[in-house]
Structure 1
Amino acid sequence: MIKIYHNPRCSKSRQGLAILEDSGKDFETIKYLEETLTAKQLETIISKLGIKPMDLIRKNEAIWKSDFKGKILSDSDIIAAMVKHPKLIERPIVVNGDKAVVGRPPESISDII
């Protein structure tokens, strides 16, 4: 089942959701700001994305700038920050089986559906 990790307040996330709706395929919407992800779930998503945890961080978020920017952080520290502050997670993320993509630009979602 295709999953989209979605923030309804984000325009790119809404565009990604529209792409999935238009595809006609079944998918599950996970509002990750309400349904907080665990460290294990994030590790799995990051692995499917094929990126480092730092690459999934929204570095312009105020909480990142005030609490984390410029510090030496391990991958597990970064994942813990995303668990505690899910607003830091780049969005939308679409997972389809063992593949995943960050929908920036939203059209990249078409590559895995």
Structure 2
Amino acid sequence: MEIAENELLFIYDSNDLQDREALAYAQSLKNYQVKTLDVRAHTFTEWQLQEILERLEVEPEDLINRRSAVYLKEYVGVELDREDTLKAIRKHTDLIKTPVVIYHDSARLIGSSYELIKKDMS
């Protein structure tokens, strides 16, 4: 994923109100041009998932949203190895914990919209 220094890639779930609010904050940042990727409308390639994991410095299971309807219906109590987790995410992209923001030099899972404002001010 090519991301310029003045850009950020905002990965979000358009069905989630908090994600949409965080997107509004991201789009208001004056130092960044925002590219968006909605997990409801995008299927991740294996390469994209690997790059997201590397940039976040997490394992696939750390990227799973355990409150997702799909997780609660199909994966609670199911033991998944790394490959199975990646397959599940590729099949059900709404399993991804969001929002994820990828900058030119870093990435993070956003817990609060305030984190976006702090990054913009630095």
TM-score by length of 1: 0.86
Any stretches of 5+ residues in structure 1 without a counterpart?
A: none
Residues 7, 60 of structure 1: alpha-carbon distance in 2 compared, 3 angstrom cutoff: closer
Distance verdict in 2 for CA 1:111–1:79, change over 3 Å = farther
Q: 2:8 aligns with which of 2, 6, 20?
A: 2
SS at match of 2:44: coil
1:13 maps to 2:19: yes
What is the CA RMSD across the aligned residues, in angstroms?
1.7
- Once residues 66 and 19 of structure 2 are traced to their aligned partners in structure 1, the CA distance between those partners, rounded to angstroms, is 17
Contact residue 57 and residue 88 of structure 1 kept, 8 A: yes
Does the aligned pair in 2 maintain the 1:13–1:103 contact within 8 Å?
Answer: no
Residue 111 of structure 1 deviates from its aligned partner by: 5.2
Deviation at 1:9, TM superposition (A): 2.0
Classify 1:56/1:111 alpha carbon distance in 2 versus 1 (closer, same or farther; 3 Å). Answer: farther
- Helix, strand or coil for the counterpart of 1:29? strand
Change (3 A) 1:47 1:111: farther
Residues 43-89 of structure 1: CA distance to partner in whole angstroms, max 9, x if unpaired? Answer: 11011111121111111223223322222211121111011011111
The AA in structure 1 aligned to 2:79 is I
1:94 to 2:108 alignment: no
Sequence identity percentage? 24
- Extract unaligned runs of 5+ from structure 2: 1-6
For the 8 Å contact 2:42–2:93, the answer to whether it is kept is no
TM-score by length of 2: 0.81
Change (3 A) 1:74 1:98: farther
